[in-house]
Amino acid sequence: MFAPLLAFAAAAAAPAGLAGIWEGNVGTLPVRACFVQSEWGNFGAYYYLSRLRLIPLEAEEGAAGAFREGSETRSPRWLVESADGARLSARWTSGGRTLPVRLRRLAGGEGEEGPCGSLAFHAPRLAGVRTVAARATKDGVAYTRLSLDHRGRFEIRFETFALDGSGEAVRRINAALARGLAGDPPSWFECVRDSLGQSPHEGGFDESLRPAMIVRRWLSVAHHWDGFCGGAHPDSSNAYRLFDLSSGAEVDLNDWLNETAVRREGPRGSDEEIKTLQPAFREAILSGWRPEQAECEEVIRTADFWNIGLARDGFVLEPSLPHVAQACGETFTLAFDRLRPFLTEEGAANLRALRAEP
């Protein structure tokens, strides 16, 4: 879905003053551009102020100051003729058509994120981005679905939701669910800028948080993420999260399982505590299972880390697999009756209360 990071060769003898943020015209059309120069290569990106969609500029190996709009040999091309402290001059060509490029330097882009990942470069693209609300229901409970609306400017799809109510527990839960939309710049923008620190391609992802179950005390959330934010490969994950509606706290279902099911290492209750599944519990999850692909059997049977979700009829479990093995991912369910030997007293009490609900 999202292009992996490519290697970018440095264009021979590119103008020394190229790096930075620029604004001006391609022909008569207003644009904003950025360029990065580093030891390992040069690249850039730009967008038309009328559309605000990013266009990558990949350096052509061995061609002084030449950049392609993408990797295709027939893509439009920039040939930078000069760049100094104030002005950049170039030619834009496509087929038999040529347009002058005249840009002036803008302030900004000196931070760790670099010119192409800076807010100074992206400010016009972020203007007017909003959140769209729509009403929905789950398990007879009304809530508000929240979707990011960036007007088609970014390779981002983000959807979450908010519970009704004004109590402290609801406020805590809604704040956790809306974290991807919070901040200045918003958290979702970090993926865009992280990729642009390494390449002319902005990062992008598809993320959704949806209610999987709403009962008197518990909110179970299905959390999906699929995208590329820089690095060697795209990534994806499907996970469950659980919130206590009485307190607003997020709950780790590993803590409902006893030592027969979960091995704990590190300081108890701290961020450094590591929780992995014991072989006996993995055997219970995988009882009777046969993989569709033989090479997946060992990968799943030896997976130490699993995501656990709460459903009305038991636990939903999925192994956390490395990128190279994600094609082997499967979801398993373990009914309450089979969970009993592996539960703590608190976990057993919580499940009894859940089963007693209408």
pLDDT digits (tens, 9 = 90+) for 163-179: 999 999 999 999 999 99
Indicate the burial class of 21 (C-beta count within 10 angstroms; 0-12, 13-18, 19 or more): buried
Q: Report which of residues 1 and 74 the model is more confident about.
A: 74
Residues 233, 12: Cα–Cα separation, whole Å: 28
Residues 353, 355: Cα–Cα separation, whole Å: 6
Q: Report which of residues 101 and 39 the model is more confident about.
A: 101
User: Which pTM value belongs to this model?
Assistant: 0.88
Please choose, from the candidates 290, 296, 285, 282, the residue with its C-alpha nearest in 3D space to the C-alpha of residue 329.
296
What integer pLDDT is reported at residue 14 of this predicted model?
A: 65
What integer pLDDT is reported at residue 13 of this predicted model?
A: 55
Average pLDDT of the residues of the chain: 92
pLDDT band at 63 (very low <50, low <70, confident <90, very high): confident
Q: For 149-206, what is each residue's pLDDT tens digit?
A: 999 999 999 999 999 999 999 999 999 999 999 999 999 999 999 999 989 999 999 9
Which percentage of the chain shows pLDDT scores above 90? Answer: 78
Is 90 exceeded by the pLDDT of residue 92? yes
**Mean pLDDT computed over 8-12:** 41
Is 90 exceeded by the pLDDT of residue 119? yes
Is 50 exceeded by the pLDDT of residue 292? yes
Residues 26, 190: Cα–Cα separation, whole Å: 28
- 343 DSSP 8-state letter: B
What tokens does 24 get? 């001006």
Q: Which domains does the chain possess? A: 20-126 (2.40.128), 128-251 (3.30.565), 252-358 (no CATH)
